[in-house]
Amino acid sequence: MLLWMARRWSRSGLGRMARSTVRVAALSVFVGTLVMALSLSVVRGFRQAIRHKAALFVGHLVVQKYGPDGGDAPVFWEFAKESHRLRQIPGVRAVNPVLARPAILKTREDLAGVLVKGVDDNFDGGGVFSIPQPGHLSISRTLAEKLGIDSGASVKMYFLSPDSLGGLQLRLPRTYEVAALYYTGMQEFDAYLVLAHKSDLEQIFCPERSGCLSAYEIFCQENKAEAVKLSLNTLFPPEFSILTTRDVLPNLFEWLDYLDVNIFIISLLLMVVGCLSLMAAFYTMVLERRSALGLLRAMGMPSHRLSGVFLLQFSGILAVSMILADGLAWGCVILQSSYALVPLDATNYYLDTVPVVWDWTGVLAVNGMSMVLSFVAMVLPALYLRRFSISQVLRLN
């Protein structure tokens, strides 16, 4: 009965004001759902892309010895047994033993402070970094442009090491050839990271024995970092620290958290606007149907059944608006993923195009929350029907 009445009233014509108000409410729900779905997709894409790029520099987990506050990580020697066991831990995709040390890179006309990361022949560069041969370097395009050099240029490297007084001293310069240029778009890291072969740094900092390193950079499978970290705690002695990407780069992940806060505020405002529009449309439609409502009340129909008719009618408006909005948002995500139609300034956002990842769970959760809030908002005008009487109908008419 209620469903039949809701369909009947939906098909029958409305007055000009009611029709306009209902259209505005439907449009508000449509636009709000569209914006929330696209916002969730963009934020999810940003998180995934930035985490992937951040992991290129430090891995998903970093194992290193505790060092002095503000100092470089101490050098330790690679344990063959531990290295083998690291690669056998479930969830571990790759293990990069590295030896990183600060240095000054000097050309004929300029110089720059850099961090030289020594890597071995099994280094996993994620498709971005190439493995330099001994005597060669891999630097970023950003640093090369700053120094005015290109691939094939010869440069001098002054490594820094602690002296007996607790300060830093320059070692004799070493000459290297720039063999490759890389680019990640993350300017803060591109400006100072230089890759070299680990054997070159071993000759400088631990010539008496090969296999020294300053950290293990561990790459994990999707969503396995925390489980791998628990396994690592039982493998290394207490003098070693195990850091996640977030621990190493806290500012970057705080920026991502601010994006989540912004999306929450925007979504809340859109939900409030949609609810107010639905309330206004509900009131207007009740006034439009006042003659029929008074007649039905006179015939004995209880007010809660009258409210149910309007709630069913508005449920259809909500469902259609949300389905259309989700479909359009999904199409936009597919187009952006396939053709990268919306560019970005990589200097400010680390990426040259807007990343998008469709998240069905998040979208359905937002739709469900919007639906619940909308029903709560429509309960208030529905209470008005309890006081609707024949005398009110006569006065209004």
Q: What confidence score (pLDDT) does residue 197 get?
A: 95
Query: What number is the average pLDDT over the span 377-381?
Result: 74
Query: How many C-beta atoms lie closer than 10 Å to residue 201's C-beta?
Result: 25
More confident residue, 51 or 382: 51
Give the separation between CA 70 and CA 37, rounded to whole angstroms: 43
User: In angstroms, what CA-CA distances link 203 with 19, 80, 99, 209, 211?
Assistant: 81, 20, 11, 9, 11
Give the separation between CA 370 and CA 11, rounded to whole angstroms: 25
In the predicted model, what is the mean pLDDT of the chain?
A: 82
Query: What number is the average pLDDT over the span 365-394?
Result: 71
Residues 337-374 have pLDDT tens digits of 999 999 988 878 888 899 999 988 989 888 888 888 88
Query: How many C-beta atoms lie closer than 10 Å to residue 397's C-beta?
Result: 8
Give the separation between CA 292 and CA 52, rounded to whole angstroms: 61
Ramachandran angles phi, psi of 163, nearest 5°: -100, -175
Cβ-in-10-Å burial (0-12, 13-18, 19+) of 192 comes to: middle
Please tell me the pTM assigned to this model. Answer: 0.81
Give the separation between CA 339 and CA 347, rounded to whole angstroms: 21
Structure-derived torsion over alpha carbons of residues 9, 15, 20, 26, reported in degrees to the nearest 10? 0
Give the separation between CA 316 and CA 320, rounded to whole angstroms: 6
Query: What number is the average pLDDT over the span 168-181?
Result: 86
Whose CA is closest to 144, among 181, 108, 113?
181
Candidate from 76-85, 278-287, 323-332 with smallest mean pLDDT = 76-85
Query: What number is the average pLDDT over the span 131-150?
Result: 94
Pair 89, 231: CB distance under 8 Å: yes
Q: Domain-by-domain residue ranges, the chain?
A: 2-54+253-396, 67-238
The secondary structure of 122-185 as a DSSP string is: T---TTT---PPTTEEEEEHHHHHHHT--TT-EEEEEEEEE-TTSSEEEPPPEEEEEEEEE--S
Ramachandran angles phi, psi of 301, nearest 5°: -75, 125
Where b means 16+ CB within 10 Å and e means fewer, 373-396 reads: bbbebbeebbeebeebeeeebeee
User: In angstroms, what CA-CA distances link 263 with 31, 266, 267, 363, 366?
Assistant: 15, 5, 6, 13, 12
Give 299's pLDDT tier (boundaries 50, 70, 90): low
The one-letter amino acid code at 214 reads S
User: In angstroms, what CA-CA distances link 241 with 195, 234, 281?
Assistant: 23, 12, 60
Candidate from 116-120, 129-133, 300-304 with smallest mean pLDDT = 300-304
Residues 208-265 have pLDDT tens digits of 777 788 899 999 998 899 999 999 988 888 888 999 999 999 998 998 888 888 888 8
More confident residue, 85 or 58: 58
Give 275's pLDDT tier (boundaries 50, 70, 90): confident
Q: What confidence score (pLDDT) does residue 20 get?
A: 75
Query: How remote is the C-alpha of 326 from its chain's centroid?
Result: 20
Is 70 exceeded by the pLDDT of residue 105? yes
DSSP state of 74: P
Q: What confidence score (pLDDT) does residue 305 get?
A: 63
Give 201's pLDDT tier (boundaries 50, 70, 90): very high
Is 80 exceeded by the pLDDT of residue 180? yes
Is 80 exceeded by the pLDDT of residue 321? yes
Unique residue bearing structure tokens 């060092």: 67
Spatial CB neighbours of 390, under 8 Å, sequence gap ≥ 6 = 294, 297, 298
